[in-house]
Structure 1
Amino acid sequence: MILRYSNENDLILDQFAGGGTTLVEAKLLNRNIIGVDINNIAIDRCKEKINFNHKTANGKVSIRKGDARNLYFIENESIDLICTHPPYANIIKYSENLKNDLSRLKIKDFLKEIKKVAYESYRVLKKDKFCAILMGDTRQKGHIIPMSFEVMRIFEDSGFKLKELIIKEQHNCKATGYWKTNSVKYNFLLIAHEYLLVFKK
């Protein structure tokens, strides 16, 4: 995504910086990047990950604690590419009781809050530039909840146009005993993919 949709010295945003992967790749590819996360543990992890020197890695990395729903510290139309991976509602909780952590919200509430993320993304991104969001689905009571498509519609309603819909296979999935047993017992397939939604402003 970074190579295809940005150039060297461009400014990238990852407002769910998490483990810092996007920050590292941007630095290696000579892009400047702003990494935002609401979780101090994630912030510390990101700082560790980008703390390296390489003669060809000249991207500047700025890490900031903040909320993806309110990027007040980023100017309108100042970002060249958004490349991010939000939580999938409360499928995996990334904190115990951190206020404003979207990974603690049930799906309905998560989708309501992701609208604010979409509007902020649209505000800060330059015209004709791209926003790439990695999203997955979940299952409740044996039925698929297509969160990725809900998020896709929310971003479209915010003004974005869908450029690409890429299916990312999960080759490293390890089904736990619980899921494997239940998939046989209740006759459902394990989810082994995510969607990479690429939007254009």
Structure 2
Amino acid sequence: MKLQPNNFSLETTTVWSFPERGKWATHSGKYRGNWSPYIPRNLILRYSKQNDWILDQFMGSGTTLVEAKLLNRNAVGIDINPQSVFKSETNLQFKCETQSKIYTKVGSASDLHFIKDNGIDFICTHPPYANIIKYSKDIEGDISLLDVDDFLCKMEIVAKEAYRILKKRKTCAIMMGDIRKNGKVIPLGFLVMNIFLQIGFVNKEIIIKEQHNCRSMQYWKKQNNDFLLLAHEYIFVFQK
């Protein structure tokens, strides 16, 4: 198993594009909506150091945790869906030379009571975009089942918990995309950004990430649309 990407270099601008999503270690694109491992790799290397504690409270298939393990960071991963936690634990079952401590837990991003105040060095996470992709049918507290208004209310609680557990002057990186309803754009990215700013975070970076290999793109290209296809996402890097 190849544990590192070929010819990797750290991103240096605020526009990121990864046509090849990355297949080193146990990474794959089989888990719908997961982010390319190039994203957490860049973020972890830039905003944390070895042996730091990283949190991903929307763990999904464990992409962030796999990168934390490869890069000798400690990490806590949380997901409300037990199947996702099982998938992450499976993806973490590889051997490497680092001494990382990696913990996974079924839980909600809006209730991190088991993490002490100012206990995390870096947050690196990729929440759902409201109910664009539903990750369960009926799990209570699953924000991927919520419409935009309810989603934003829940994200305010998520932001407050993130602020509480993050150390002062440390960073929180979150990827979020806009969505379209009835042909009109809903600027979900900026709405979520504004929530984090109102909680007390400040903007350190706003990164534009180009989308590739989106499953719905080919479908929409065949339709007679009077709108542009969304091909960007935002990575907001906040500082406490």
Q: Same fold (TM over 0.5)?
A: yes
The aligned counterpart of 2:84 is 42
**SS at 1:13's partner residue?**
strand
The aligned counterpart of 1:12 is 54
- Does structure 1 retain, via aligned residues, the 8 Å contact 2:163–2:199? yes
The answer on 1:188 being equivalent to 2:230 is no
The aligned counterpart of 2:238 is 199
Distance 2:132 2:123 in 1: 23
Structure 1 residue 65: Cα displacement: 0.8
- Does structure 1 retain, via aligned residues, the 8 Å contact 2:217–2:229? no
- What is the one-letter code of the residue matched to 1:143? K
Unaligned runs of 5+ in 1: none
The answer on 1:116 being equivalent to 2:157 is yes
The aligned counterpart of 2:110 is 69
Match of residue 103, structure 1, among 140, 144, 147: 144
**1:90-136: per-residue Cα shift (whole Å, max 9, x none)?**
00000011111000000110001100000000000000000000001
- Does structure 2 retain, via aligned residues, the 8 Å contact 1:22–1:84? yes
The aligned counterpart of 1:171 is 212
Give aligned-pair identity as a percent: 55
- Does structure 2 retain, via aligned residues, the 8 Å contact 1:134–1:196? yes
Deviates more, 1:46-55 or 1:158-167: 46-55
**Structural RMSD (CA):** 1.0
The aligned counterpart of 1:134 is 175
Structure 1 residue 62: Cα displacement: 0.4
**Alpha carbons of 1:177 and 1:199: their partners in 2 closer, same or farther (altered >3 Å)?**
closer
Match of residue 59, structure 1, among 97, 100, 105: 100
Distance 1:41 1:129 in 2: 31
**SS at 1:126's partner residue?**
strand
The aligned counterpart of 2:38 is none
Distance 2:218 2:239 in 1: 41
The aligned counterpart of 2:69 is 27
Structure 1 residue 48: Cα displacement: 0.3
**SS at 2:193's partner residue?**
helix
- Does structure 2 retain, via aligned residues, the 8 Å contact 1:28–1:58? no
- What is the one-letter code of the residue matched to 2:66? V
Distance 1:170 1:58 in 2: 34
**SS at 1:41's partner residue?**
helix
Distance 2:58 2:217 in 1: 26
- What is the one-letter code of the residue matched to 2:85? I
Distance 1:84 1:178 in 2: 28
Structure 1 residue 9: Cα displacement: 0.3
Unaligned runs of 5+ in 2: 1-42
The answer on 1:83 being equivalent to 2:124 is yes
Distance 1:171 1:190 in 2: 12
Distance 1:175 1:78 in 2: 39
**SS at 1:173's partner residue?**
coil
- Does structure 1 retain, via aligned residues, the 8 Å contact 2:65–2:102? yes
Instruction: Give the number of equivalent residue pairs.
Output: 198
Distance 1:131 1:65 in 2: 21
Structure 1 residue 187: Cα displacement: 1.2
Distance 2:147 2:99 in 1: 40
